[in-house]
Amino acid sequence: MNFINTQSYSNISNFQVLDNYIAFNDENNHLYINGYLLDEDNESYFFYDTYLCYHTKEGGTVFFNYINNTSFEIDVFFHKDTLFNNNFLTSKNFFKNEEGKWLSDLYLYQLNPFKEIKKYDYFIEGNFFREKDFILQIFLKRNVILKNMENSILWQYSLDKKSSVSVELEIIKFLGVYKNNICFVLNKGLLVLDINSGEEIHFILKGENLNGDSFQGDFKGFFGYDTILDISRGIIFNLNLYFYLEYDLNSNKNLFDSYSFRKEDNNNNLYLNNIGGYDDKYIYAFEGRDSNRFAVLDREKKEVIWSSELLQKGNEISYIIDMQISGNNIYILDSNDTLRIFERRI
């Protein structure tokens, strides 16, 4: 396996890629897709189906069909992560109440054909996640509440119930739902709850080293914000320093699996901490936002099979800011606002 840098684009602030369609904002916040100017001052953008969607300053959403170059607009913000059965949740007004808590109104819209279904008669506090016809919220990084769409609480869970072991624990990321498993990343492990009851299914704080040597005593790596839930397999995984970490939700293990890919006789070891993307066979990752090195890890072998670094030009130092994967290509945005495309050559 090898990757060759075949194309580069300058003055890129951020980007998204899907099926080798590239959307990006330039340094003036102008939005383009494959070189075609769409908007000169957008709020945010994302791919959905065959559309590039972007939020406007006026509070609407434009759907640009990048296949046939047609578009339409709705007058509210569309959030694809709240879409279920052709309807989605959105808010129009945000405010702080007398207690200093941020609240927002809540609407349910049908997407196609677009129309308002209802405005809920309650305000919702903070951020929320939608899972089918349920609303999931996390409070104070320690408490989980599941509600129905009418705001009735179905169950609550708190890390406080773990007594002494929970003193320093926090929920840092909601991963998603696999079967009936609601999955979270803790600052020191993993938490999995039953979606129907709120009862614990898995509470994982420790791992076991199945391959290689940690070279740091009992340290076996930890799950962080880049942790991913592969819903197709029921596998939670992450890269931390020179460890590949994995937990199978289909198992009853009380330990996560840790694999070290560090070479004892190598003074130039990789320390992979950020995942740019993955597919059935490989994980594509980079060291961090103060490094120019990136690599490909084989998911079955649990080892790095290819690595490289960004070539520097003269005294110009380039660090990796973002990495994404599409098809056989790796897309890397560096600290000098250059988007580089690496094509796979086998």
157-205: pLDDT as tens digits:
999 887 766 668 999 999 999 999 999 999 989 999 999 999 999 999 9
Q: Could you tell me the strand order of the sheet in which 134-139 lies? A: 129-131, 134-139, 143-148, 153-158
Q: Could you tell me the strand order of the sheet in which 2-9 lies? A: 2-9, 339-345, 329-334, 320-326
Question: Mean per-residue pLDDT for 137-145?
Answer: 94
Distance between CA 204 and CA 125 in Å, rounded?
Answer: 29
Distance between CA 199 and CA 156 in Å, rounded?
Answer: 9
Percent of the chain with pLDDT over 90: 81
Confidence of residue 213 (pLDDT cuts 50, 70, 90): low
Residue type at 9? Y
pLDDT for the residue 219: 78
Rounded to two decimals, what is the model's pTM? 0.92
Residue type at 82? T
Distance between CA 25 and CA 33 in Å, rounded?
Answer: 9
* Contact criterion met (CB below 8 Å) for 66 and 16: no
Lowest mean pLDDT among 13-27, 186-200, 279-293, 307-321: 307-321
Lowest mean pLDDT among 107-121, 233-247, 255-269, 318-332: 255-269
Confidence of residue 269 (pLDDT cuts 50, 70, 90): confident
Percent of the chain with pLDDT over 70: 95
The model's pLDDT over 53-83, given as tens digits with 9 standing for 90+, comes to 999 999 999 999 999 999 999 999 999 999 9
CA-based Rg of the chain, rounded to a whole angstrom? 22
Confidence of residue 19 (pLDDT cuts 50, 70, 90): very high
Please, what is the average pLDDT of the chain? 92
Residue partners of 239: CB distance under 8 A and separation at least 6: 226, 245, 272, 273, 274, 275, 283, 285, 297
pLDDT at 214 over 60: no
pLDDT for the residue 316: 79
Question: Mean per-residue pLDDT for 238-265?
Answer: 91
Query: Helix count (H) and strand count (E) of the chain?
Result: 0, 35
pLDDT for the residue 267: 55
Q: Could you tell me the strand order of the sheet in which 102-104 lies? A: 94-96, 102-104, 124-125
Residue type at 5? N
pLDDT for the residue 288: 85
Distance between CA 257 and CA 300 in Å, rounded?
Answer: 13
Question: Mean per-residue pLDDT for 282-295?
Answer: 92
